[in-house]
Homo-oligomer: A and B are copies of this chain.
Amino acid sequence: FIIADKMSKAEARSKFEGVFYELIEEIDAVVAETKIAQPARDWIRENLKYNTIGGKLNRGLSVIDTYKLVTNKSELTEEEYKKVAVLGWTIELLQAYFLVADDIMDASKTRRGQPCWYLKPNVGMIAINDAFILESVLYLLLKKYFRNTDYYVDLLDLYHEITFFTELGQLLDLITAPEDQVDLSRFSLDKHTYIVTYKTAFYSFYLPVALALYMAGLATKSNLEQCKKVLLPLGAYFQVQDDYLDCYGDPEVIGKIGTDIQDNKCGWVINVALERASPAQREILDNNYGRKDSEAEARVKTVFKELDIEPYYHQYEDKVAGEIRTLIDNVDESEGLKKQVFTEFFNKIYKRQK
Contacts and interface: CB of A to CB of B under 8 A. Distances in A.
Interface residues of A, number: 50
Q: How many copies does the complex hold?
A: 2
B160 A139 contact: yes
A101 interface: yes
A153 to B, nearest CB: 5
Interface string A113-154: 000000000100110111111001101100100010000110
Nearest to A180: B124
Given A36-B172, A129-B171, A153-B152, A163 B178 contact: no
- The residue among A130, A133, A136, A163 with the most chain B CB atoms within 10 A of its own CB is A136
A39 B266 CA distance: 16
Given A34-B165, A157-B143, A104 B133 contact: no
B133 A34 contact: no
What is the interface of chain A mostly: helix, strand, loop, or mixed?
Answer: helix
A109 to B, nearest CB: 15
A164 interface: yes
Interface of A: 31, 34-37, 39-40, 43-44, 101, 104-105, 107, 122, 125-126, 128-133, 136-137, 139-140, 143, 147, 152-153, 156-157, 160, 163-165, 167-168, 170-172, 174-176, 178, 186, 190-191, 194, 198
